Structure 1
Amino acid sequence: MSGVSNAQSIEWLPIDRVNIVNPRDRNQPIFKEIVDSIAKIGLKRPITVTRRTESDGEWFDLVCGQGRLEAYQALGHSLVPAMVVEADPEDCLIASLVENCARRHHKAIDLLKDIGAMQTRGNSLADIARKTGLSMEYVHGVTHLLNKGEQRLLQSVEARTIPLSVAIDIAEADDEGIQRALHEAYENGLLKGKKLLAAKRLIELRKRRGKCVEGSSNRASPKMTTAKLIKVYEEDVARKSALIKRARNAHDQLMLIVQSISRLSDDEGFLALAEDEDLYHLPSGITERMAQPERKNDAQGSIEA
């Protein structure tokens, strides 16, 4: 945008001196997530403002970052880190509208790379934390993962799929250590349900395709040699064979259950006890299998085997 100067500096500004040029209604659940995130790890990006001078002193018009500004205020802060740019009011308004439209399409990995760029330019971790409003723990963890090229893990951290501490443990561990880290994260309540499944898929993807995300590295893609192609094929065969083995084990166990219940259903004492405990009705899937003669034969064969 021609009206906005590229010259930028980060300053800590009084929140009550920042004017929201283009205010919008707040989605409360999303706003709570922003507040919780800032409370836990600090501000990931400074807000952007432009300076103007009035008779009662300096004021700042918000270019972008209303959610971050209001979250910082909700947490009781009086100062907020801000990037001060040069722009006229019309450009501030346009930039704010553009941010509102493009917010959901921003690549999170680019934000994390900014931390690496600041370190490359000679900023210490303490300087980065101070300038960005992030916690030292978060900055240290992100730079550690950046230095190890762990782009997939970084994306998951930014998406809040994996906690930063768990991502660091995974980056440092071998295959056995990774499984141990996932188990400990589950036991500690850091990874549950869908997040645990997503973490396992990420580990598998990282193992097969590497730490970097496709299209994010400037290095040329390695050529696929015959040996590498064979290795990929063998890994795929091994993975599918393991899946087939697990499916067969599950089938055999189900047949054992069906056969056991079939035998118990002929025991009058068991039926009376089940009825007393209101457990007389079986799941429809099991009763259907018990009603099919071929299923019974399969089950009997599994037991005899």
Structure 2
Amino acid sequence: MNMPQHPRSPHHVGEATTVVMVSLDRIRVLNPRARNKQVFAKLVENISSLGLKRPITVTPSSDQDNTGFFELVCGQGRYEAFCALGEREIPCVVVSAGETDRFLISLVENLARRKHTNKDLLYSIQILSDRGYTTKQISMKTSLDPTYINAILLLLRQGEERLIAAVEKGWLPISLATMVARSSDTEVQIAMVEAYETGVLKGEQLIKVRRLIDRRRFLGKHYGQKRSTTEQPTTPQKLLSTYQTEVRRQQVMLKKADINEQRVLIIVTAMRRLLADDYFCTLLRSENIADMPKSLADRINGEG
């Protein structure tokens, strides 16, 4: 049965402007996605109590043997929820779209979701690239900087799951991630020193990046990946490289120790002056602050 006219959406390709009821057994899901069971259960409960808020998007089947059938473009979760509820029909927006357009519609819908992950976007970028889209074209479609797109494609093609995860969480700069992906272990160590000296990495962030690089070297680029137990023979070059790497690591530690020592001296000097002020000492007593860390007290008293 036909339903009232549905306004044309900028996310839809084609000329369809009507919502129609389509039998569930006439819809094919050509590229199904695995779903979180708890999230899906909430979706089913929501549709059961409130009804369907938005129709799914389908396109007529391109297979001549399936005339009268439709291929799902967007709304797999809503479609499966209707199936789980025992419904026979579901409201649909029918669009006329080729394979490329169907993918773009699905991508736009996914980006418009309230809860979407960066991982969805990253792998959608890879799919667009695999389909022949240039970096400039992908940039125009996603509103992302071409340099960022090139960097992400490099990480994806090299299978750098650990680096990508760190970039997603926001504590590893994309420029440093691509440098690590392109560089040898020795070059990575040099870059870490430079990143510290220039202030790109600081404090806890430097420690997290160091741990990430160590895990990547010993456990591999992928999560759950097992490194080969066959070790290469030790050579003088390998020993020299290991020695140089350790020297650079200790240089970074010394630089951090120097900076922390300077900060402690500033604190000790400031506390000495404050404790010499009678008003400040009276304020401490009124606030019932009668002690301080022993290591700090020893430094203030000239000990340690």
Do the two structures share a fold, i.e. TM-score over 0.5?
no
The structure showing larger relative contact order (alpha-carbon pairs under 8 Å, at least 6 residues apart) is: 1
Place the TM-score, normalised by the shorter chain, in its bin. Answer: 0.3 to 0.5
TM-score (norm 2): 0.40
TM-score (norm 1): 0.40
